[in-house]
Amino acid sequence: MREKELHLGLIMDGNGRWAKARHLPRTAGHLAGLKSLKKVVLGAINNEVKYLSLYCFSTENWKRSQEEVSYLMGLFSSKIYSELPFYQENGIKILTIGDLSPLPEDAKKAINDTIEATKDNDTIILQLAINYGGQAEISMAVNKAIKNGETNLTPEVIRSYFEHPEVPPVDVIARSAGEIRLSNFLLFDSAYAEFVFCDKLWPDWDESDVTKVLEEYSHRIRRFGGVK
Ligand code: IPE
Ligand code: IPE
Ligand code: MG
């Protein structure tokens, strides 16, 4: 057992490159990415990760071709709820962050039904970032706070208006596929996160990659501005 519950964030990148290397359409990469996702979730459970945040679709991903965006929306509607037995068997509670309002109705329904059906699970909290952007998250929270009459927008007050303030800040963010950037993921909560960047493309990830990330994290010394 860890002394503190761990929050791992994953920027799942490289689906397109994985498909391109196989002369397949980009969409085939997203489908393959879904398979690795299940393995990675099991790896997180085996490693006693309590919170797992997954970057599924950014506020910038709408810039992609209509074909690719519709395919991803189709995955949200057809694959999220259909994995219900997997969540129930493994004690997975699903939450989302991000603005779901522009999503197609069937995707929204599948997501909301999944959230409702898994609300009592508590082995692992799986937070799906869908139409999520760190900048939008901060700006939405500030707007809600102002509407609610707050006059002193301290970091704590702003954070209390996030969608899931009960989820603790992310401890470690890992990104696949060799890019060294955040791409607007968890901007506020990553203030003191550790970062692990891996070259392996997302569809090639499995349980062992979570273990590797956490092994690297275990050697980091976190000071949070203090002295150890
Ligand atoms: C990540 O893989 C999945 C999403 C952003 C939805 P990409 O689709 O970004 O794959 P690359 O970066 O083009 O290889
Ligand atoms: C970040 O990946 C978004 C997700 C993983 C959902 P991108 O592939 O969209 O990021 P950039 O464009 O390379 O920064
Ligand atoms: Mg990418």
pLDDT at 1 > cutoff 90: no
Instruction: Name the residue at shortest CA distance from atom 14 of ligand 2.
Output: 183
**Cβ < 6 Å from ligand 1: which residues?**
12-17, 57, 61, 72, 177
Report the Cα–Cα distance between both ends of the chain, in Å, rounded: 23
10: Cα separation from own chain's centroid: 6
56: Cα separation from own chain's centroid: 6
Identify which of 17, 36, 60 to mutate to test ligand 1's pocket (most ligand atoms within 8 A of the CB).
Answer: 17
pLDDT in tens, 147-161: 999 999 999 999 999
Q: Locate 186 and state its tokens.
A: 């968890």
Instruction: Name the residue at shortest CA distance from atom 10 of ligand 2.
Output: 183
**Cβ < 6 Å from ligand 2: which residues?**
11-13, 55-58, 61, 179, 181, 183
pLDDT in tens, 58-104: 999 999 999 999 999 999 999 999 999 999 999 999 999 999 999 99
pLDDT at 188 > cutoff 80: yes
Q: How much is the pLDDT for 34?
A: 98
The answer to whether 122 is a known catalytic residue is no
The closest of 183, 174, 203 to 26, measured between CA atoms, is 203
Instruction: Name the residue at shortest CA distance from atom 1 of ligand 1.
Output: 13
**Ligand with the closest atom to the CA of 17:** 1
Q: Locate 137 and state its tokens.
A: 């998250």
Q: Locate 139 and state its tokens.
A: 């700006």
191: Cα separation from own chain's centroid: 17
The answer to whether 206 is a known catalytic residue is no
